[in-house]
Structure 1
Amino acid sequence: MADPDYKPFKSIHEFLTAVHIYADEAKQGVTRYVEATHYCAHCLIYDSHEQDAKLIGVEYMVSKEIYDSFEPGEQKLWHSHEFEVKSGMLILPKPAGYTDEEWETAELHAMEEIIHLYGKTWHFWQVDAGHEYPLGHPVLMGSAINADQLDLSEAMAKRNALFGVDHENKAKARKGLQSHQIHPSKTVLALIGGFC
């Protein structure tokens, strides 16, 4: 058999990691999150970056201009990335061959773009619930918009140790990033106080 040409995979240009929050449970006051390792053209979400990682979801990202063109009902399914970026929750793990300074500069440049994007995320596999297979319906995921929704130090501890980063230092470095005006009343989870 000839080697397939993996053209769609060749457009992957970002490697990100953060956590995603279950939108339906958050509406009931429960904050359950799962590690979300992204490989993006559109983002393929895995439960880790290891060779045996499970594909657990997909995230689509669009500009604010595209988001603003959506009907209000559609806008409610999307979330802002502002808190993920500014809190240091979202990182681009450093590949080999870069100094820390080079990578911090490259990562900050990427975050200047991501902070303006909206995401629509569906997870198909609840590995954090112990599921061995992708059972049930896809689940809409969201993102916290402030530190009151989850203990960032707890949520980021494993990731910080694994990649040798500190989300608090990332937050300090990103403090000056300019974001756009977010419309929390129009984004996913807005009605539950503090999620979008």
Structure 2
Amino acid sequence: MITPKLFATLDSDERKLWHSHVFEVKSGMLVMPQPSPLVPQVAWEKAETAEMEDVIELYGKVYHLWQVDKGHKIPLGTPQLMTSITADSQMLNFDQVVGERDQRFGTDWKRKKEIRKDIKEPEIHPDADDAWKHIA
């Protein structure tokens, strides 16, 4: 992840490969699973929310090397540039999918969304999130 200042130094074609984190943070979708039940939930939520106040401004670029869902024992094929969704409508059954994730990790995206409602949303550079600008 990089800062908006560094992102602005990239050429336009490069910036189009990067994604924002505003939706992930504000929706409650992006989580930092609680490391231990010994850490009080209130303390963890405070720490996580503070981190999200920083992450919301950053841009990310990620390549996936291994599609583990295909069952291969080693990474095969070409790395794939990934992006993040910028609206819940971009994921089929968003509530259900994120809810199932919450069950696995003991998180609650709806609660996180409420907790993060006051995090200020930065302006997203127009070149970011380009993957979603070409979907009919």
Q: Same fold (TM over 0.5)?
A: yes
- With a CA cutoff of 8 Å and minimum separation of 6, indicate the structure with the bigger relative contact order: 2
Matches within 5 A, 1:150-169: 150=91, 151-169=93-111
Q: 1:119 aligns with which of 53, 60, 68?
A: 60
Counterpart in the other structure of 1:21: none
TM-score, structure 1 length as denominator?
0.63
Q: 1:176 aligns with which of 107, 118, 124?
A: 118
> Which range is displaced more, 124-133 or 147-156?
124-133
Shift of 1:125: 0.6
Shift of 1:127: 1.5
Of Structure 1 and Structure 2, which has the larger fraction of its residues in helix? 2
Number of residue pairs the alignment of both structures matches:
134
TM superposition outliers: structure 1 runs of 4+ over 6 Å: none
Distance in 1, Cα, partners of 2:135 & 2:44: 35
Whether 2:9 is the aligned partner of 1:63: answer no
Is there any run of 5+ residues in structure 1 with no aligned partner, and where?
1-60
Cα-to-partner distance string for 1:132-190 (whole Å, 9 max, x where unaligned):
32111100000000010112222223321122221111111111111211134443404
Whether 2:79 is the aligned partner of 1:143: answer no
Distance in 2, Cα, partners of 1:157 & 1:186: 27
For the 8 Å contact 1:185–1:191, the answer to whether it is kept is no
Cα-to-partner distance string for 1:108-130 (whole Å, 9 max, x where unaligned):
00000000000010001111233
For the 8 Å contact 2:20–2:128, the answer to whether it is kept is no
Q: Percent identity?
A: 40
Per the alignment, do residues 183 and 193 of structure 1 end up closer, same or farther by CA in structure 2, a change over 3 Å counting? farther
Matches within 5 A, 1:184-195: 184-193=126-135
Is there any run of 5+ residues in structure 2 with no aligned partner, and where?
none
Of Structure 1 and Structure 2, which has the larger fraction of its residues in strand? 1
TM-score, structure 2 length as denominator?
0.89
Shift of 1:69: 1.0
What is the RMSD computed on CA atoms of the aligned residues? 1.7
SS of the equivalent of 2:81 reads: strand
